[in-house]
Structure 1
């Protein structure tokens, strides 16, 4: 099984950027932890981060072309206004789970709306970096259930 961990703008600054909101872990630490978790369960996890909307769109398209089974996506600020990323998610058959480190619904009002959520399998927000693991376990459960059903 193949999965993609996709991170949007400014997430390359984790560990330095507003640690009181986003924590002290770096993106590399999160990626390594998730890769290890995926490997323990027989998954291959690819990681990609970009501050550029078009690169994220291209990577979503490529995920389907490569036979990816699921995408864990933290779109960062693109959550609130990127119809291009929303349309990219809608254009592929790969399920996507949206993840946010902070609880976007308890923050500034502009962060309360996700234009992506309606195209995603679900949204996980407010659990810090553990939200990535929650998304992984959600996919794991989904894949196991699919194998049992045929």
Structure 2
């Protein structure tokens, strides 16, 4: 049986994970998170395609390209959470289950971080769980997909 493919996207500045504001985002690097995602996905019968970009258009292009071969999307849009209607539109257009992840609890931070363009179209939002949120998102995605998806 083939594994169900999930696209895990990471937005701007997440390439600096582990060195950028570790008091907020922790000491794990994005490579550490990727390893954890692959291990978790393997145990859930999922396949992960893990990507990061600081460029909004690249995230959108990956969503468009994946619309025929991925079954769900886990996304940490980072700063694009609060600014990108285009990213929200792309997520909506691909018509796949979406889980939004944030490492920190955005609701305990600056007021501009309290609004998300992605949350309104996401099937679930996980925030404030550190990098464990990615694993929780994959667990939830496995459940959503086992129940027939969107």
- TM-score normalised by structure 1 residue count: 0.93
Report 1:65-104 matches (<5 A): 65=68, 67-104=69-106
Give, in angstroms, the shift of residue 43 of structure 1: 1.4
* 2:75–2:101 contact (8 Å) kept in structure 1: yes
* 2:46–2:142 contact (8 Å) kept in structure 1: no
Give, in angstroms, the shift of residue 41 of structure 1: 2.4
Counterparts of 1:54 and 1:74 in 2: how far apart (Å)? Answer: 15
Are 1:37 and 2:40 matched, yes or no? yes
* 2:44–2:139 contact (8 Å) kept in structure 1: no
What residue number does 1:21 align with?
Answer: 24
- Which residue among 39, 59, 62 is the counterpart of 1:59? 62
Counterparts of 1:84 and 1:142 in 2: how far apart (Å)? Answer: 25
Q: 5+ residue gaps in structure 2?
A: none
What is the number of equivalent residue pairs in this alignment?
Answer: 146
Secondary structure class of the residue paired with 1:114: coil
Report 1:116-131 matches (<5 A): 116-131=118-133
Compute the RMSD of aligned alpha carbons.
Answer: 1.2
What residue number does 1:114 align with?
Answer: 116
Counterparts of 2:133 and 2:66 in 1: how far apart (Å)? Answer: 21
Runs of 4+ in 1 over 2 A off after TM superposition: 143-147
What residue number does 1:146 align with?
Answer: 148
Counterparts of 1:96 and 1:107 in 2: how far apart (Å)? Answer: 23
Counterparts of 1:94 and 1:62 in 2: how far apart (Å)? Answer: 13
Deviations 1:100-134 (A, max 9, x none): 00000110000000011111112111000011111
Deviations 1:74-105 (A, max 9, x none): 00000001011011011111111100000001
Counterparts of 1:115 and 1:93 in 2: how far apart (Å)? Answer: 16
